[in-house]
Structure 1
Amino acid sequence: MELHDSGGYLPRIREFCLSLPATSERLSHGAPTFFIEEKRSFAAYRNNHHGDGKVALWCAAPPGAQSTLVASAPDWYYIPAYVGHLGWVGLRLDRDAGWDEIAGAIESAYLARAPKKWIDFVKERRQRG
Structure 2
Amino acid sequence: MLGLPGVEEHEGWAGQPAFKVRKKGFVYLSEDESSVMLKALREEQEAMVAEDPETYSPSWAAGRFAWLEADLAAADEEELRELLVEAWRLTAPKFLIAQLTP
TM-score when normalising by structure 1: 0.68
Q: Which residue of 2 aligns with 1:75?
A: 54
1:79 maps to a residue whose letter is: P
**How many residue pairs get matched?**
98
Match of 2:98, SS state, is helix
Q: Which residue of 1 aligns with 2:92?
A: 114
Task: Work out whether residues 43 and 58 of structure 1, in 8 Å CA contact, stay in contact via their aligned partners in 2.
Answer: yes
Greater fraction helix = 1
More RCO (CA 8 Å, sep 6+): 2
Q: Mark the runs of 5 or more structure 2 residues left unpaired by the alignment.
A: none
Identity of aligned residues (%): 22
TM-score when normalising by structure 2: 0.85
CA distance in 1 between partners of 2:46 and 2:92 (Å)? 21
Greater fraction strand = 2
Q: Pick the aligned partner of 1:42 from 15, 18, 26.
A: 26
Q: Which residue of 1 aligns with 2:35?
A: 56
Q: After the TM superposition, which residues 82-121 of structure 1 pair with which residues of structure 2 at under 5 Å, given as runs?
A: 84-86=60-62, 87-95=66-74, 97-121=75-99
RMSD over aligned Cα atoms: 1.7
Match of 1:71, SS state, is helix
Q: Deviation at 1:99?
A: 1.7
Q: Mark the runs of 5 or more structure 1 residues left unpaired by the alignment.
A: 1-14, 49-53
1:88 maps to a residue whose letter is: W
Q: Relative to 1, partners in 2 of residues 1:85 and 1:63: Cα closer, same or farther, differing over 3 Å?
A: closer
